[in-house]
Amino acid sequence: MGQPKRVALISGASRGIGAATAREMGRRGYHVVVNYRNSAGPAEAVVDAIEQDGGSAQAARADVCDGGQVADLVGKVYAEHGRIDALICNANTVNPSFLPFAEVAWEAFAEKINGELAGVFHLSQRVLAVMREQRSGRIVFISSTAADHIGMAVAHSTAKAALNTFSRHVAGVGAQYGVTVNTVAFGAVRTEASGGAFQEDLEKYLTDRSVLARLVEPEDAARTVALVADDHFGAATGQLIRVDGGFDVLDAQLGRLAGFFS
C-alpha cells in the first residue's frame, strides 16, 4: 500500500483562483477538498477535472463565514481522511465594490470587512487545531495588492489589509506547532469576480503599468499558491508574497490607481 495522500482544503474552489489552485494541487498529488457555497455544479466540474488529470478530490458545501458550517466541514474532512496538510483560504466571500470612500455606505463597508475576516477566522482557527495535533501543516491566505492602493476600493483594501495583519497572528501561533502561514497578495487576476471591473480601458491601464505587460492569470496564481504551500517553502512563515505582473514596479513611479477610480 502506498503512502496516504496529503489533503488540501481550498475555500471557494468552484471557480476563479480557487478552482485553478484546486487543479494544481490535484496535479501535485494532494486529495483536494473543493469547498463552495452555492455553486455545486461548478464545484463538481472541478472535481471531475482533477480526476481526469489522474488526481482525487471531493466537493464540500459550506459557507465559510458561518462558524457552525466550518466546524462541520473541518470535522467531516478530518473524520474521513485523518489529516489536513494544506489549507488555502481563498473564498471571495463578498464581491468588492469599486467605490471611493465618499460614495460607500457604512453597511456595505462593514459587510465587506466582516465577510472577509469571518471567512478566514473560522477556517484557520478550526484547521489550526487539527494541524496542532499533527504538528505540521501549511496555511496560505489569499490577499490582494489592493491592500496598499489608496482610493481604489476602500472597503476591499481595508479588508485585505486587515487580513494581512491577521495572517501574521496566525503565523505566530502556528509556528509553535510546526505550521507555516503565508499570504499571497495578487494584483489584477482575470476571474469572474474581477470581470465586471475589467473594462477594456482599465485592462489597458493595468497592463501598461505592468513591467511584464500582462495581467495575472488564474493558472499563474494557482502555481504560486501551490509553491507557497509546498514543503520547499517550509523555512518561510508570516510572509506576504506579491504577485502582480510587476505592476508595483511602475506604479511607484507613475502614480496610483486613485487616478482611475476617483
Ligand X SMILES: NC(=O)c1ccc[n+]([C@@H]2O[C@H](COP(=O)([O-])OP(=O)(O)OC[C@H]3O[C@@H](n4cnc5c(N)ncnc54)[C@H](OP(=O)(O)O)[C@@H]3O)[C@@H](O)[C@H]2O)c1
55 touches ligand X by CB under 6 A? no
Options 10, 91, 155, 222; binder of ligand X; rule CB under 6 A:
91
11 touches ligand X by CB under 6 A? yes
Residue nearest to ligand X (CB): 16
With the C-alpha atoms ordered 239, 244, 245, 247, is the resulting torsion angle positive or negative?
Answer: negative
Query: Between 36 and 109, whose beta carbon lies closer to ligand X?
Result: 36
Here the cell at position 9 is 482544503
With the C-alpha atoms ordered 91, 22, 152, 167, is the resulting torsion angle positive or negative?
Answer: positive
Task: Mark residues 173-212: x for contact with ligand X by CB under 6 A, - for none.
Answer: -------------x-xx-xxxx------------------
Options 6, 9, 12, 87; binder of ligand X; rule CB under 6 A:
12
Asked whether 181 and 170 are in contact (CB, 8 A), the reply is yes
Options 22, 32, 90, 251; binder of ligand X; rule CB under 6 A:
90
Number of chain positions touching ligand X (CB under 6 A):
30
From the list 77-85, 89-97, 100-108, 199-207, the region that binds ligand X by CB under 6 A is 89-97
Q: How far is the CB of 91 from ligand X (least distance, A)?
A: 4
Options 7, 9, 10, 17; binder of ligand X; rule CB under 6 A:
17
From the list 9-17, 25-33, 125-133, 167-175, the region that binds ligand X by CB under 6 A is 9-17
Options 119, 137, 174, 245; binder of ligand X; rule CB under 6 A:
119
**Chain positions contacting ligand X, by CB under 6 A:** 11-18, 35-39, 63-65, 90-93, 119, 142, 144, 186, 188-189, 191-194
